[in-house]
Amino acid sequence: MALTRLVLICLLVHLCCFGVLMIRSVSGANETHFFKWEVEYMYGAPDCLTNIVMGINGQFPGPTIKAKAGDTVVVDLTNKLLTEGVVIHWHGITQRGTPWADGTASISQCAINPGETFNYTFKVDKAGTYFYHGHYGMQRSAGLYGLLIVDVEEGKEEPFKYDGEFSLLLSDWWHKGVHEQEVGLSANPMTWIGEPQSLLINGKGQYNCSLAAAHNSGSGGLPECNFRGNENDTCAPNILRVKPNKTYRLRVASTTALVSLNLAVRNHKMLMVEADGNYLQKFSVKDFDIYSGETYSVLFKTDQNPRNNYWIYVGVRGREPRTPQGLAILDYQSTTPTKQPTLAPKPTPGWNDYQRSKLFSKKLLAHSESPKPPANHHRRIFLLNTQNRINGYTKWAINNVSLTLPPTPYLGSIKYGINESFDQNSPPDTFDLNTYDIMSPPSNPNAAYGNGVYTLELNNTIDVILQNANMLKAGDSEIHPWHLHGHDFWVLGYGEGKFSSEKDEKKLNLKNPPLRNTVVIFPYGWTAIRFVADNPGVWPFHCHIEPHLHMGMGVVFAEGVDRLGDIPNEALSCGLTAKMLMSGSGGKMLTSGSGPPKTFNPIYILYIFIFIFSYF
């Protein structure tokens, strides 16, 4: 017995040492972050006027997720809305291996019904500034959004240094509810809600008060804002507290539903260093444009008079502004937080100074270590952006097709061969390049509804030429920021007028184009992008202006869906895939959520041998 006990003691010591080493190894590995969220409507006063907002766990904006590259994020999302579904898109996360977690209703998953819970599990594989938002109906306009920040993994460094960081989430806000907006857009004739009443920075804005209007025309007689230096007031400007002579990183994400913005920090220059999770060649700016769906990181030095505070301000670009600037305060901490800046915000650059916007966009170039694009493309798709009519209803269309999503999500339909769930004819790859006049309203304004898919060969290089045109009204062409799910793409160039393969091909930048997931097309112009179709799944590519997508301005790409493994049942529980589940046909599928893989914890070894030792 003594010998047996001695052997077990030696074995236990050995395994304890091994277990400690294993535990250390595991603790230094990538982490899994667990969240339980409930989405519901709640009362809020983002700009001092009480209204209905969408919140998560009672918060508006939603909670910020922070992780490191390589970590896994697990969100159990419960729909506490009473009468509508919900999904959340993780904007900028490529969802490699988990396309059902992309959070797009009717594309990657079924909408989460009231009372139901959906498990989002995915890996954040690249450091950068990201965010999340609702992708069902117009729930982003209702306030369903939040930040997602991914730091570099342990042992790696970013190509710039800073002493601290802040994050700003930019959005626009209306006093009319989102359902009224949706009804107006779908009416005949269309009823346009108009420009937003306020601009929000981290969910706070100022409306109809002197703080917002003091530096905007027409401010006479407005009451004082509900701001007495208490940053916890519902509409008090955010306060960013800094120390003098330091370098700070400012992460900025735009989840606006409509407007393009320009951001500046009074008296401070900024150094552009990151866009959409990809590093840039550094260049200095006094202000910068940011379109819906874009994210940036800038560096700034606190090298101004430390006895003063300074405004951080955003204003409308690309649309005639009828909305006051959004405000935050840079507080040098040597002053009291109650002290408002003495220097007024400068006016936002002219809303229609597109030349200024184009010069900024063309300065965005990839960092020297950024991946280079393939030299050639396998397929080129032209996407003409037009405003049209269908049976008298105003719509947006791409190549004369206005996107309408099917009841059965594409991902399940394609994976399990349910061909009757959507149009099996591919949308057109181009429009009439020779005769279409992009400078005038369409000679035939009629378009058609469609829900076909562009099927891409796996690992092929795809070029997309986004072509802007005149709207229904003469002399009108709008800015459109386009976002691609599941991929980053190279922005090869911008141009005026109609794209010409003969003249414009040689202008494309294949040397150092920036990698992005969102890009703008300017009025009456074109933008060229290139990406590799190397991520099996079904991915929307659409205008990130909420009303435009709602009215049909998007397309759907599918690639390598046959290479995917099992799709979680909860992503398929609607439409024809639900019938397939009930009948038990269609191949093997998961029976529960797409939760993280179960791993063996080495501490179990210790428990086993402690039990054995205690027995002897």
Give the residue-averaged pLDDT of 274-299.
98
Domains in the chain, CATH or no CATH each: 32-151 (2.60.40.420), 164-363 (2.60.40.420), 379-563 (2.60.40.420)
Write the pLDDT tens digit of every residue in 369-380. Answer: 999 999 999 999
Question: Residue 507, CB half-sphere, CA atoms under 13 Å: how many?
Answer: 15
- Give the separation between CA 540 and CA 431, rounded to whole angstroms: 20
Query: What CA–CA distances, in Å, run from 217 to 323, 327, 347?
Result: 11, 16, 10
Give the residue-averaged pLDDT of 277-296.
98
Give the residue-averaged pLDDT of 14-34.
55
Write the pLDDT tens digit of every residue in 453-488. Answer: 999 999 999 999 999 999 999 999 999 999 999 999
Give the residue-averaged pLDDT of 9-28.
41
Write the pLDDT tens digit of every residue in 509-557. Answer: 999 999 999 999 999 999 999 999 999 999 999 999 999 999 999 999 9
DSSP state of 112: B
Nearest CA-CA partner of 298 in 284, 309, 311, 317? 284
Report pLDDT for 449: 98
Question: Do 349 and 318 contact (CB within 8 A), yes or no?
Answer: no
Mean pLDDT of the chain: 88
Structure tokens, 295: 């994210």
Report pLDDT for 220: 33
pLDDT band at 386 (very low <50, low <70, confident <90, very high): very high
Beta-carbon contacts of residue 469 (< 8 Å; ≥ 6 apart): 384, 385, 386, 436, 438, 439, 442, 477, 524
Report pLDDT for 354: 96
Question: Do 450 and 404 contact (CB within 8 A), yes or no?
Answer: yes
Task: Using the predicted structure, report yes or no on whether residue 293 has a pLDDT greater than 70.
Answer: yes
Write the pLDDT tens digit of every residue in 100-142. Answer: 999 999 999 999 999 999 999 999 999 999 999 999 999 999 9
Task: Using the predicted structure, report yes or no on whether residue 607 has a pLDDT greater than 50.
Answer: no
Task: Using the predicted structure, report yes or no on whether residue 616 has a pLDDT greater than 70.
Answer: no
Give the residue-averaged pLDDT of 605-610.
40
Give the residue-averaged pLDDT of 58-69.
98
Report pLDDT for 598: 39
pLDDT band at 342 (very low <50, low <70, confident <90, very high): confident
